[in-house]
Amino acid sequence: MSQISLTFPDGTARDYPIGVTAAEVAESIAPSLAKRAISASLDGRHIDLAWPITASGTISIHTIKDAVPALDLIRHDFAHVMARAVQEIWPEVKVTIGPVRDQGWFYDFDRTEPFTPEDLGRIEAKMKEIIAARDSVRTEVWDRDRAIAHYKAANEPFKLELIDRIPEGEDLRMYWHGDWQDLCRGPHLQNTGQLPADAFKLTHIAGAYWLGDATRPMLQRIYGVAFRNRDDLKAHLTMLEEAAKRDHRKLGREMDLFHMQEEAPGQIFWHPNGWNIYTTLQDYMRRRQRADGYVEVNTPQVVSRKLWEASGHWENYQDNMFIVEVDEDHARQKTVNALKPMNCPCHVQIFNHGLKSYRDLPLRMAEFGSCNRYEPSGALHGIMRVRGFTQDDAHIFCTEDQIEPETRKFIEFLAAIYADLGFTDWRIKLSTRPEKRIGSDESWDRAEAALGNACKAAGHDYELFPGEGAFYGPKLEFVLRDAIGRDWQCGTLQVDPNLPERLDAEYVGADGGKHRPIMLHRAVLGSFERFIGILIENNAGKLPFWLAPRQVVVASIVSDADAYVADVVDTLRAAGIRAEADIRNEKINYKVREHSVAKVPAILAIGMKEVEDRTVSLRRLDQQGSRPLPLVEAIAMLKDEATPPDLR
């Protein structure tokens, strides 16, 4: 019998008959490992314990203690068990797909009657019955004709369409959880009893078009979350409760920051308070960029399709672009333009205007570029996911030798900004060459090494994501972790030799010849709109004093103090502090409570004693009691707090 060699994580190797399963490999190591095994990885590919292994390679056996593969299996199996539970309760329901996502999974169903929140409880109870039954999970590979015949007989039209989308020659793998069957790539657990029955919860129901296509049927999507144990689930649900309290949409209403309405889907109406945050943050970024050697530009909103064709966006990104047709000079022949979805092709046009020398490089070109991208209405989410947004966008035109020092400089720049904004917990992801790519292996080697070396030189580790880079170059992604443990991908740096080539950018080198620059696409905040939403939620609305939209409210206790209140407000404003008066005929406790809900960081209460002594009574947000201070001292202290961190 033919043999294969399997190498284990400790470097040892053993020979096995061809076709051995990972379950049999685990048994050969130790019966106790076989009992605890849930899956395996073969040459980095996650596989089922029951799949035959037909070639030599490197193998790892996974148990429930291996968080990443364990959670992937648990959530994938829960999706199948939920679908089985739904069809056992409502046999007429048609199933579609149920991928793993974020902290759990979703599954889309075709059902005439809408699911209700009460139905989630019924489904959960049925899922627990299935788990308790410890039904075996088995798998087979079928040929296409057999699979099609099976789903026609079962009247599952969505599965038939999925089969049509699977390339010819690719395996059609079937899984059974007990008697319930689904088309799935796997892998899966060995029986339903391996699922932690006390570590999952169905969270909500939403509508979703089949395959995300608005012209296709509207389905019902059920979401769930799952973890390895009850404590992890409890921690997650607590986080969700806290996230609901911090929801930027709720706080946006309470703080009177912005609103959105159906006449402008995916667009934001900024109120004065919200625009204060926006402009303060933008002014801060503008000063930071100037100090770091950037030149600021501004490019058109509406650009001819010719440029988008030349850049490649028309072919690859047109579905996300807003098309603008203009009847030029009433010639009855429409010119096709598009609202710009990104700034990079326009920046190349500025680079191309006039001759550039190697002495001009690196050229750091920044723009607070307003962009518009089509997002499906179901994907819109407050100011976090919109159709109109502004980026802190910049492009660094440099030589290949300058990639590493420019990347290091950018990482240090980004780190300082994140620290100023209260984010010290963040990580870097390095995405390397995909299978389909342009450029030589040598150029990829140099670019990937430059990014990795720059991270280390800046004092930061990185996670490697093989194959996740763009087709033209590797990239860095900067992922923030907020106050309640959620991750947000914000900053990016992308190496791009492709766009300068497509748009004919060049500079004169030291040798007198013409050369293509490398283009580094970079952003720190990304979308201002999204980042402000993140800031609001991270701080639960209690923004740092310098960013707070309403920094001080001066509130009268008695009407006889109104004149002094006005004087204090004028003095605060003259010192550069955002201050306003509250002289309404309301009790001071009512005023304090109202302004606290609106997250005003400082309230100065003024009664007759304060008028006589020319003092104020300072009350901080979320602090009990107040502190009497001379007016001059209070203004000096608040002025210092109102100073942005880069100006201190």
Where is the binding site for Zn(2+), in residues? Answer: 344, 395, 521
Give the Å distances, CA to CA, from 451 to 142, 185, 190, 407, 562.
Answer: 45, 34, 42, 7, 60
**Catalytic residue among 373, 446, 516, 620, which?**
373
Pairing verdict, β 463-465 and 388-398: unpaired
Cis peptide before 157 (omega within 30 of 0): no
- Reply yes or no on whether 393 is catalytic: yes
Tracing tokens 């002594």 back to the chain, one arrives at: 613
Residue 460 neighbours by CB distance under 10 Å: 18
Residue positions in the annotated binding site? 344, 395, 521
Q: What angle do CA 94, 134, 188 make, to 5 degrees?
A: 60
Cβ atoms of 517 and 503 within 8 Å: the answer is no
Q: CB-side exposure of 467: number of CA atoms within 13 Å?
A: 3
Query: Could you confirm whether 333 is annotated as catalytic?
Result: no
| Spatial distance between the Cα atoms of 509 and 13, rounded to a whole number of angstroms | 53
Looking at this protein, which amino acid is placed at residue 122? Answer: R
Say whether 165 is catalytic: no
**Strands ordered across the beta sheet of 334-339:** 302-304, 334-339, 323-327
Residue 60, token pair as written in the block: 């790892």
Q: Please say if 271 is a catalytic residue.
A: no
b vs e for 154-175, b when ≥16 Cβ sit within 10 Å of the residue's Cβ? eebebbbebeeeeeeeeebbbb
The helix, strand and coil proportions of the chain, stated in percent and rounded to the nearest 5, come to 40, 30, 30
Cis check: omega of the bond before 630, within 30 degrees of 0: no
Q: Pick the catalytic residue: 177, 364, 395, 515?
A: 395
Tokens of 146: 């057999």
Cα distance between residue 266 and residue 382, in whole Å: 8
Q: Which residue among 344, 346, 398, 455 is the active-site one?
A: 344
Give the pairing type, strands 323-327 and 302-304. Answer: unpaired
**395 counts as catalytic:** yes
The per-residue b/e assignment along 428-446, b for 16 or more CB within 10 angstroms, e otherwise, is bbbbbbeeebebeeebbeb
Catalytic: which of 126, 437, 521, 550?
A: 521
Closest CA relative to residue 172, chosen from 138, 143, 152, 139: 143
Q: What angle do CA 135, 137, 140 make, to 5 degrees?
A: 145
Question: Which of the following is catalytic: 103, 190, 289, 391?
Answer: 391
Look up 373 and say whether it is catalytic.
Answer: yes
Concerning whether 624 is annotated as a catalytic residue, the answer is no
Q: Angle CA(424)–CA(425)–CA(426) in degrees, nearest 5?
A: 110
Catalytic residue numbers, as ranges = 344, 373, 391, 393, 395, 475, 521
